[in-house]
Amino acid sequence: MEKLAILDCGGQYTKVIDRRVRELGVKSDIFPINVKSEDLKEYQAVILSGGPNNIGESQRLNFDKKIFEMGVPVLGICYGMQLMSDYFGGVIDSNIKKEYGQCEVWVDNTMPIFDGLEQTQNVLMSHGDNVRNTPNGFSVIAKSGDAISGIGNKEKKMYGFQFHPEVDLTENGMKMLENFIRKVANYKEVYALEDRIQTSIKMIQEKVGNNKIICLVSGGVDSAVTAALLVKALPADNIYAIHIDSGFMRKNESDVVCESLQKLGMKNLIRENAKDVFFNTIVETEEGPIGPLVKEVDPERKRRIIGEVFIQIANKVIERLGLDKENTFIAQGTLRPDLIESGNPDISGFAHKIKTHHNDVEIVRQARKKGLIVETNSDWHKDEVRRVARKLGLDEKIASRQPFPGPGLAIRLICHDKSSEVQITAQEVETLNSILDNTNHKGFILPIKSVGVQGDARSYRNLCLLEGDKLDFNWNEITSKAKEITDKINTINRVGYILNKSNFDGQINCYDMRIADENVDLLRELDSIVTTKLEDAKVSQTFAVLIPIGITKKYSVAIRTFVTNDFMTGKPGEIGKEVSKEKVQEIVNEIEEKFGDKIEFVIYDVTSKPPATTEWQ
C-alpha cells in the first residue's frame, strides 16, 4: 500500500494535514519530528508540519537530517519549510514580516504544485519568522509582498510553504495538496476511509464490555453523538447520562438538553444542579490550591477548576448510584481540537498549550491512563462530528446546533484585576494611530486580555477597540486594519468595533470583575438576545461576551460570530453578508433599551483565528 508520512513539529494543524491527505485518498501516518529516517522506508513521501518553535539554536527541534536524503518528495509547511530551508543553506529571519490570518500571495503557477491555479491566492498565515535567502538549488515559488512565502526544487521534488494549505482559509489548499500527492509524489492508489460509526461502536464494546458507563452530556452535538453511539453499542441499562448544570448554562439550556436526551432513548437520565459547587469549590493541584471560581481572574485557572469539578461531580454520582468507581467508565464528547489546544502530550510531544479544555484537565488525564475514559470523537473535528450525527439519524436541530463550551458562560465573562494591568506604551499607541491614519476611525488599546493562537503558540494579549462609523463601517477596510494591527503590534491579538457609539468624550475605563450572580445573569440575557436575533445567520457559531469596560458604566458586550468548518481556523461573520445588518441593529437597539443602564458599548469582534481563538478565554 502507498503511504505518506507526516512529521509532527508541534503544529496546531498536524491532524488536519492527516485528515486532508486521507480525504485525498492516501493512507497517512503521523510521526514525531525526531523519528529515524530508517523507520520511514515504507513511505513514498513526507510532509513536515508547522510548529511553535523557531530555527534559533535554543528552540530548534532535533530531527534526522537523512530525511532530506531519502530521495522521496517532501513538503514543508510553515516551520517545516524553515527546517527544510535551513538544512539546504537558506537563511531564516525573525525581523521581516509577521503575518496572522488570511493573506493574498503570488504563486508561480508554472510549478507542478500550483498546477491549475491562478497566480493570486488567498492563504492562511500564522508565523513570525521568514526565509530571507532561498536555499541552494531552490527558487522562490510564492511571495507575500516582498516576503518569501514558498520555495521549490523541481528536480528534488521538494517544496515549502510558509502558509498552511491544509486549513479552510487557504481557499485552494486542497488543490495544492492534491498536486503534491498526485503530480509531485505520483501516488496512484486510492485509500478508502473506514466506517467511522462501526469503528466507534466496536471500540466502545471492546473497551466497556458489560461494565457501567457514565456519559457527561451538555446537549451539544459532540456529547449527543457520543450518547447516541453508546446507545447503539451497549445495553440501555448500562448507560447513565448525566447533565450537570454548572450555573453557567445559556438561557433555558438545561431544559432543552434533558428533553433532547430523552428523545435519544436515554433510559437513565440524571440532572445535577451544581451551581454552588462550581462557584465555591477550591481545587487542589500540584502547584497548590486554586479557586474558588468567584475569586479567580486567570482563564487557565478557571478552566482547570471547572474541568476538575465536572469529574468530581461525576464520581459522586457514581458513588451515589452504588457503582464500582474502579470499573465504571466515563464518556465525554472530546474532539481532536480540544486535545490539540490543551497541549495533550499523547497527541503531540511538541505542541504548545493554547488553552486547557475542561475535558483534558489532569484528573481526566489520570483517568485516561487507567483506561476509564471513553472518547468516541477524539479523532474527529466538528464538521466530521456533524456528519456522523446525521448518519446516526439525530435531529437536525442537534446535528447543526452551535457549539457551547463545557465551562459555559464562565469563560465568556472576561474577569479582570486592575492591579495586574500592564501599562500601554507610547510606541504601541503611535503605531496604532499610524495604521489608522487617513481613515475615519479612532483606536484604543485596553489592558483587557484574551487568548489567541499565533505561530502555533498561545498568546494572551490586549484588546484593541475601533470606532468611527457605527454600523456603517466598511467591512473590508476594518478587517484589513484589524489584521494589520495584530500583525504589527505584538501586544494585541483581538480587535473589536464599537457599533453603538462614535466620537464620544471621556476615557474608557477598565473595572475589576469576578464571577458573580449579577454578571452571569446579565450575560445570560445578553447572550439570549444575540443568539436569538442571529439564529438564521450563515455562521458556525454566535455568542456574547461580557467585558468590564466603559466610560460611566461598568460593562460592555461583544458579539462574536465565527465562520468555519473544523474550528481550527475561521473568520468573523461579515455584516451584510453572512450576518444581517438589520438584525445586528436590532440587537444594538434591544440591548440599549433593556440594559442601557448597565451596558456602555456594543462591540463586534472582527478578528479571525488566528490570531484570536474562537472563544475569548
What's the predicted TM-score (pTM) here?
0.88
CB-based burial label for 108 (10 Å; 0-12, 13-18, 19+): middle
Closest to 352 (Cα-Cα) out of 1, 54, 20: 54
What is the pLDDT confidence band of residue 369, given thresholds at 50, 70 and 90? confident
**571: which strand partners?**
563
Q: Is the dihedral of CA 109, 114, 119, 125 positive or negative?
A: negative
For residues 317 and 214, the answer to whether their CB atoms sit within 8 Å is yes
Domain 196-410 has CATH 1.10.1040.50: no
> Is the pLDDT reported for residue 438 higher than 90?
yes
3-33 residue pLDDT tens: 999 999 999 999 999 999 999 999 999 999 9
The answer to whether 381 is a known catalytic residue is no
Which superfamily does 3-184 belong to?
Class I glutamine amidotransferase (GATase) domain (3.40.50.880)
For residues 511 and 548, the answer to whether their CB atoms sit within 8 Å is yes
For residues 601 and 556, the answer to whether their CB atoms sit within 8 Å is yes
**pLDDT, position 347:** 63
Amino acid at 170: T
Window from 135-139, 315-319, 354-358 with minimum mean pLDDT: 354-358
- Report residue 305 CA to chain centroid gap: 20
In angstroms, the CA 557 to CA 538 distance is: 21
Q: Could you report how far apart the first and last alpha carbons of the chain are, in Å?
A: 44
What is the pLDDT confidence band of residue 63, given thresholds at 50, 70 and 90? very high
Pick the catalytic residue: 2, 9, 127, 166?
Answer: 166
203-255 residue pLDDT tens: 999 999 999 999 988 868 899 899 999 999 999 999 999 999 999 999 998 88
Pick the catalytic residue: 2, 9, 78, 600?
Answer: 78
The fraction of the chain above a pLDDT of 70, given in percent, is 98
What is the pLDDT confidence band of residue 404, given thresholds at 50, 70 and 90? confident
Cell triple for 45: 513521501
**pLDDT, position 175:** 98
> Is the pLDDT reported for residue 604 higher than 80?
yes
86-130 residue pLDDT tens: 999 999 988 788 999 999 999 999 999 999 999 999 999 999 889
List the chain domain ranges: 3-184, 196-410, 418-605
Alpha helices per DSSP H over 209-240: 221-233
The answer to whether 166 is a known catalytic residue is yes
Pick the catalytic residue: 2, 9, 103, 164?
Answer: 164
For residue 610, cis peptide bond before it (omega within 30 degrees of 0): yes
> Is the pLDDT reported for residue 403 higher than 90?
no
What is the pLDDT confidence band of residue 609, given thresholds at 50, 70 and 90? very high
In angstroms, the CA 153 to CA 130 distance is: 18
**Average of per-residue pLDDT across 372-387:** 90
Cell triple for 339: 486535545
**Average of per-residue pLDDT across 461-480:** 96
In angstroms, the CA 427 to CA 191 distance is: 54
What is the pLDDT confidence band of residue 193, given thresholds at 50, 70 and 90? low
In angstroms, the CA 127 to CA 389 distance is: 35
For residues 507 and 449, the answer to whether their CB atoms sit within 8 Å is no
> Is the pLDDT reported for residue 194 higher than 80?
no
Distances (CA, A) of 575 to 301, 440, 497, 563, 566: 34, 19, 12, 12, 22
**Average of per-residue pLDDT across 146-167:** 97
**pLDDT, position 266:** 82
The order of strands in the sheet holding 373-374 is 268-273, 239-245, 213-216, 329-331, 373-374
**pLDDT, position 346:** 66
Q: Is the dihedral of CA 301, 303, 308, 309 positive or negative?
A: positive
Distances (CA, A) of 574 to 209, 471, 475, 478: 49, 12, 7, 11
Helix axes 362-369, 299-320, angle to 10 degrees: 50
Same fold, 3-184 and 196-410: yes
